[in-house]
Amino acid sequence: MNRRRWNQLLLRYPFLFALILLSVAILVNAILQPTFFTRESLNNNMRVFLPLMILAVGQAVVILGGGIDISVGGILSIVNTILATQVGLNGSPEKMWIYVGLSLLAGLAAGSLNGFFVSVLRLQPIITTYATSFLFFGIALYILPNPGGGIPQAISGLYRNTTPLGIPLAIYVIVLILLGWYYLRHSRYGRYLYAVGGKAEAAYETGVPVVGIQFSTYVISGLMAAIAGIAMSMLTGSGNADIGSAMTLNSVTAVVIGGTAFSGGVGGIAGPIIGAMTLQMIMNIISFANIDTWWQTFVNALIIVIALALPGLLNLIQGRKK
Amino acid sequence: MKKLRISPPAAALILAVTLFLLSGLLPNGFGSDMSIARAQATNIVRLAVFLGVIAAGQTLVIISGSEGIDLSAGSVVTLTAILAYVMIKGNDSMVLPAIGVVILVGALIGLVNGIGITYLKISPFVMTLGMAGVVKGLIIILNHGNVSGKVAPIMTSIIARPVVFGIPGAILIWVVFGLFMWFLLERTPFGRNLFAIGVNRITSTLSGIHVPRMNLATYSLAGALAGIGGFLLVGNTGVVFISLGDPYLFPSIAAVAVGGTLLSGGKGSYWGTMSGAIVLTLITSLLTTMQMPESVRRMVLGGTLLMLISIYGRQRALRQ
């Protein structure tokens, strides 16, 4: 394949590179773990991967719109603590679904707060969502000062064992999100979103409701963080106010590995979903590869940096050849 | 209507002084005892030194624009603190070589950041985040559970103790450091070019600035400054652990923003960052002395930060 063709393909399908990366990761993982392709292990993996994948989708929408959301981990934590304290290990499933609804509302509210400060007051996104993340983690810690609580066994069992047609539940969730995105992407909203992310001033001049679009990206991100929080709670079955803190920055890395440009306006959400899978697959590989415990963090980070650097490296090499 | 304009650094300082005076009225505040008030104020400024120095590199990369940011600063601080700790082993004569090493190591990590950002076109946020992970990995390998070392007595006596007129050495170091940063930003070609590339990289290139080289220099310098921050920090704490620098990472960005430096680049000052560091340290220590639970403390800190940036962190309106 010649270079121009490849670049055109990449422009059209920004997630292509991430897909190659994921394929390599799957291959290595399958070699190290012979049971990788069994139904049970696939379901297990997807179940663990799902929260970060959903989080990355929300992050991708914000980044596409030219912003960033550092508070997603805090929102996830709030949802986790609400479910763990209010439903409890012995709660009834009905109670669970009521609080799932409330959690979604909490996510929307938190996202609206971010949206208000960033789009209406026009504060800088990175520092604003950093400030609100303090607020959100504070609230989560207020709800549940010490790790504990939980959700009914039946519910976490449902999340673990539901595999309609033998396909993991997580796949259905992802397909649903992708369908929703496909619809949004091709609506007027989608065109506006890319316009705002590309250049907000120019979009404003041509009559795009920039403030509304920016606001909406944070609301979507808040909602996605809440869904991720629900999935996370079902996965762990317990509560911890600190559970989201490690996931925020991972969601940003997932978006960028997935080929969505950090500067906004380029990319989609398929890439970030693949990126989130790849990131977690790398961690799997490291734990299966018998790497010395002391070296794991380093190797993991190094692989991520190399993955981030590869597209740029290829470009440089191709530039030389020309 | 004529708007009253106060420069952000001044506003931050006024806020700090007001808050401090108000804190005297707290049940366990200093009340009317001036010597305690003086001691408290000195201590808060002394604690702000570490955040302030770590935020110096952050100020430079943020001024350089193009979404410039350094998320590896926290890990670099930890790594250099551990290196200094292990090298010095309580030996005064090893202090100077240790300073050389921390600056070099910091600059090297910054250079890698710069190469990734400049030549591989990785966005600064993600590149420095990735490097933060790599450095953290290095720390864990180096540390291997525990390290043996000791800070030198001379470091403790200069950094942590009063030197002249009851003023701790750290504050004196910060004043000199501030003068150095002012000179760098306002009186050297580097500073001039830094502001220029922060405003517009294309016009800078056209007017003869070697933008890639500037970018490399800026990130290397930021790494080196974080290294100095790590050295000072270990001189104060006297112990090291693997998350020593982490709590300074996002506050270093917040200090820059509160000090009125535009996060989009091209405009700002180190004086602003210094007053930002003082305000943030003051608020944190006030919340601690008020003995609030951790949850309330975080909420109040988040709310205060939102308020501060709402006052003067606003971007240009879309409609011109």
Per-residue pLDDT tens digits for A105-161: 999 999 999 999 999 888 888 889 988 999 999 999 999 888 888 888 777 777 777
- The reply to whether A249 touches chain B by the CB within 8 Å rule is yes
In chain B, the number of structural domains is 1
> Which of A70, A203, A194, A108 has its CA nearest to residue B257?
A70
**For A144, nearest residue in chain B (alpha carbons):** B295
Boundaries of every domain in chain A: 42-289
- Give the angle subtended at the CA of B171 by the CAs of B166 and B177, to the nearest 5°: 150
Distance in Å, alpha carbon of B51 to nearest chain A alpha carbon: 17
The values of phi and psi at residue A197, to 5°, are -65, -35
* pLDDT at residue A179 in the model: 92
Identify the DSSP state of A151. -
Q: Classify residue B263: in a domain, yes or no.
A: yes
Residue A298 neighbours by CB distance under 10 Å? 21
Provide mean pLDDT across the span A55-63.
Answer: 93
Angle between helix B249-258 and helix B270-289 axes, rounded to 10 deg: 120
Provide mean pLDDT across the span B156-181.
Answer: 84
Provide mean pLDDT across the span A202-219.
Answer: 86
> Which of B48, B78, B18, B61 has its CA nearest to residue B175?
B48
Provide the β-strand partners of residue B167: B164
- Across chain B, mean pLDDT equals 86
Q: Which of residues 2-61 of A touch B (CB under 8 A)?
A: none
* pLDDT at residue A263 in the model: 76
Query: Which amino acid belongs to residue A90?
Result: N
Domain of B204: which CATH number? Answer: 1.10.3470
Asked whether the predicted pLDDT for residue A239 surpasses 50, the reply is yes
Q: Classify residue B24: in a domain, yes or no.
A: no
- If DSSP codes are grouped into helix, strand and coil, which group holds residue A112? helix
Stretch among A130-134, A152-156, B134-138, B298-302 having the lowest mean pLDDT: A152-156
* pLDDT at residue A121 in the model: 86
> Cα separation of B249 and B71, whole Å?
7
Asked whether the predicted pLDDT for residue B201 surpasses 70, the reply is yes
Provide the token pair at B307: 């308020």
Domain at A42-289: CATH code: 1.10.3470
Provide the token pair at A211: 């403030």
Residues from chain B that touch A304, judged by Cβ atoms under 8 A, are 130, 133
Provide the token pair at A34: 């012979």
**For A309, nearest residue in chain B (alpha carbons):** B120
> Cα separation of B115 and B130, whole Å?
13
CA distances from A108 to A144, A293, B212 (A): 21, 40, 42
Q: What is the pLDDT of residues A69-90, one digit of tens each?
A: 999 999 999 999 998 888 877 7
Provide mean pLDDT across the span B167-189.
Answer: 91
Strands, E assignment, chain B:
162-164, 167-168
Provide mean pLDDT across the span B65-92.
Answer: 90
Q: Classify residue B191: in a domain, yes or no.
A: yes
* pLDDT at residue A320 in the model: 66
- If DSSP codes are grouped into helix, strand and coil, which group holds residue A170? helix
* pLDDT at residue B60 in the model: 95
> Which of A298, A318, A214, A132 has its CA nearest to residue B305?
A132
Provide mean pLDDT across the span A227-239.
Answer: 90
Stretch among A91-95, B5-9, B90-94, B174-178 having the lowest mean pLDDT: B5-9
Query: Which amino acid belongs to residue A183?
Result: Y
> Cα separation of A211 and B309, whole Å?
19
Provide mean pLDDT across the span B267-295.
Answer: 87
* pLDDT at residue B71 in the model: 92
**For B128, nearest residue in chain A (alpha carbons):** A305
**For B300, nearest residue in chain A (alpha carbons):** A135
Q: Classify residue B10: in a domain, yes or no.
A: no
> Cα separation of B266 and A220, whole Å?
32
> Which of B42, B145, B146, B152 has its CA nearest to residue B90?
B152
Q: What percent of chain B has pLDDT over 90?
A: 40
> Cα separation of B129 and A296, whole Å?
17
Stretch among A120-134, A217-231, B58-72, B137-151 having the lowest mean pLDDT: B137-151
Distance in Å, alpha carbon of B144 to nearest chain A alpha carbon: 7
Distance in Å, alpha carbon of B302 to nearest chain A alpha carbon: 4
Asked whether the predicted pLDDT for residue B281 surpasses 50, the reply is yes
> Cα separation of A20 and A274, whole Å?
10
* pLDDT at residue B2 in the model: 47
Interface probe for A, chosen from B120, B142, B144 (most Cβ of A below 10 Å), is: B120
- A263-295 b/e with 16+ CB inside 10 Å = b? ebbbbbbbbbbbbbbbbbbbebbbeeeeeeeee
Provide mean pLDDT across the span B23-45.
Answer: 77
Residue B66 belongs to what domain range?
A: 38-312
Q: Classify residue B82: in a domain, yes or no.
A: yes
Q: Classify residue B226: in a domain, yes or no.
A: yes
Q: What is the pLDDT of residues A261-284, one digit of tens each?
A: 777 778 888 889 999 998 888 888
> Cα separation of A13 and A10, whole Å?
5
> Cα separation of B167 and B148, whole Å?
31
- In chain B, the N- to C-terminal Cα span, in Å, equals 18
* pLDDT at residue A295 in the model: 83
* pLDDT at residue B59 in the model: 95
CA distances from B98 to B95, B130, B232 (A): 5, 26, 11
A157 vs B246, which has greater pLDDT? B246
Asked whether the predicted pLDDT for residue B1 surpasses 60, the reply is no
Asked whether the predicted pLDDT for residue A189 surpasses 80, the reply is yes
Residue carrying the six token digits 């180096």 = B142
pLDDT band for position B312 (cuts 50, 70, 90): low
| 3-state per-residue secondary structure call for A28-96 | HHHHHCHHHHCHHHHHHHHHHHHHHHHHHHHHHHHHHCCCCCCCHHHHHHHHHHHHHHHCCCCCCHHHH
Question: Which distant-in-sequence residues (6+ apart) come within 8 Å of A299 by Cβ?
Answer: A286, A291, B137
Identify the DSSP state of A206. T
Question: Under an 8 A CB cutoff, do A295 and B137 touch?
Answer: yes
Asked whether the predicted pLDDT for residue A163 surpasses 80, the reply is no
> Cα separation of A151 and B167, whole Å?
55
Provide mean pLDDT across the span A241-246.
Answer: 86
